[in-house]
Amino acid sequence: MKGRYLSLAASGAALCLTAVTLTGCGAVDGLTGDNEVTLRVVAADYGDNPQNSSAAYWKELADGFHKDHPGIKVEVNVFSWSEVDAKVAEMVKAGKAPDIAQIGAYADYAAAGKLYSTAELLSVKTEADFLAPLADAGKVKQTQYGMPFVSSTRLLFYNEKLLADASVIAKDAKGWQPKSWADLEAAAKKLKGAGVPTPFALPLGREEAQAETMMWMLAGGGGYTDNEESYSIDSADNARTLEFLRDKMVGQGLTGPVEPGKLDRQAAFEAFTKGEVGMLNGHPTLMKQAEAKGVKYGMVALPTSDGSQQPAMGVADWVMAFKNGHRAESGKFLDYLYQPKNVTAFTDKYDLLPATTTGYQAKQAATSGPALRLKPFLTALPSSRLYPVGKKSWAGVSEDIKQNIGKTVQPGGQPAKVLEDIATAARAADPR
């Protein structure tokens, strides 16, 4: 995901495998011996070391598919997240697009007419199984091209000990339920008074500024787009959200010693695991990182500006199929990929949320194991809002946000002006 929460693979080298044996990574023609069709797949690596690389999952998947469909081989090239999108772009530019790609964005390829629609690929059962907000995010002009692969939502994490020591919560409390930004401000002031270095970490650095910003905008009743999916970056609600952060959080010294525009997500996570941060927005990966360091934490929905209910932010990665003349074969493989057992195998391995209704229901029904602790994230998923990834302009808009949004919360920052500049460029790149 752009602004994703997953670790990059330890090695940048591609891991190449086929449905049967490991092979080289050269270009492969559509037909092999005995008239078998070979599907070329490019996928991202969700592991953080060679031992838990996604290559093992894809090999097992390809082996199982080939056993059921002996006329179709599947060759999968697995690349680290730091390079997979660029690798696919290079292949497409060279006229050697893969049949299927599992990467971070699809809209540019869909707008260029290079992708099959999901209706051309999937069985009715598979297509209908995608969670509605994720399926909608995969559409360009009302036609779905992007198939959500995995997803996540975000929650507010807090350090139980730090909040108890600062008398934000009672030492025997079983949880904390802040409702409004006033509750956050009051808690952050108590944490500051108790000597906590960073009462509330606000990472608006390049790593994930677009994610942190969207979480706060949604909580303030705004967002990047309106109900008609037109850009509304410069809305009054969004300006008020950033003014709150500038004046109440940053302005009162409640966000720590590092300027938000220079603080990256992972650095904030690491500070949380060291007991230096009282509160911050996080995703499932932070659970493991905190537990590994013995930090006891709680998780709640990010409070809203006035205590009213607002949607959480969701994030998804995407699968797409290029028009290489293998529509039927690609469709069969994708139907296999989205079988419940295969969805569950991947999401369980990496503590991710499923993109399908059957996968969601299976995790909701879990009474033990990894799925149990993901339930707070699952609860937020069906009503979550995603980045406007269906707009081919989104990549550029996201970069604009990364470069400029941190300025809005500096002393003397001008949220309305910065938002207006970003919105003007966004609308010019995506005229309706």
Can you list the alpha helix ranges (DSSP code H) found in 69-141?
84-93, 107-111, 118-121, 124-128, 132-137
Strands 198-200 and 143-144 turn out to be: unpaired
Q: In 3D, which of 251, 263, 258, 297 has the Cα closest to residue 278?
A: 297
Strands 147-153 and 385-386 turn out to be: unpaired
For domain 155-311+393-429, the CATH class is: alpha beta
Distance separating alpha carbons of residues 351 and 287, to the nearest angstrom: 10
Q: In 3D, which of 169, 227, 205, 265 has the Cα closest to residue 402?
A: 205
Asked whether the domain spanning 155-311+393-429 has the same topology as the one spanning 15-151+315-385, the reply is yes
Superfamily of domain 15-151+315-385: Periplasmic binding protein-like II (3.40.190.10)
Distance separating alpha carbons of residues 177 and 276, to the nearest angstrom: 21
Q: In 3D, which of 76, 102, 81, 87 has the Cα closest to residue 343?
A: 102
Distance separating alpha carbons of residues 134 and 90, to the nearest angstrom: 27
Residue 188 is predicted with a pLDDT of 98
Helix (H) or strand (E) holding 76: strand 72-80
Residue 356 is predicted with a pLDDT of 96
Residue 370 is predicted with a pLDDT of 66
Find out whether 161 and 382 touch, Cβ atoms under 8 Å: no
Q: In 3D, which of 333, 310, 308 has the Cα closest to residue 320?
A: 333
Q: In the sheet that 198-200 helps form, which strands lie side by side, from edge to edge? A: 198-200, 277-282, 155-159, 297-300
Distance separating alpha carbons of residues 129 and 338, to the nearest angstrom: 9
Residue 229 is predicted with a pLDDT of 83
Residue 43 is predicted with a pLDDT of 97
* pLDDT single digits (tens) 290-338: 999 999 999 999 999 999 999 999 989 999 999 999 999 999 999 999 9
Q: Where are the domains of the chain?
A: 15-151+315-385, 155-311+393-429
Query: How far lies 428's CA from each of 80, 141, 404, in Å?
Result: 33, 18, 18
What is the residue-averaged pLDDT of the chain?
89
Helix (H) or strand (E) holding 143: strand 143-144
Residue 20 is predicted with a pLDDT of 30
Residue 228 is predicted with a pLDDT of 80
Residue 306 is predicted with a pLDDT of 96
Contacts of 86 (CB under 8 A, 6+ apart): none
Does the reported pTM lie above 0.85? no
C-alpha 146 chain-centroid distance: 14
Residue 382 is predicted with a pLDDT of 83
Q: In 3D, which of 183, 195, 273, 217 has the Cα closest to residue 409?
A: 217
Q: How many helices (H) and strands (E) are present in the chain, helices listed first?
A: 19, 14
Q: Which residues of the chain have pLDDT under 70?
A: 1-34, 370, 432
- The torsion angles phi and psi of 372, rounded to 5 degrees, stand at -65, -45
Strands 37-45 and 100-103 turn out to be: parallel
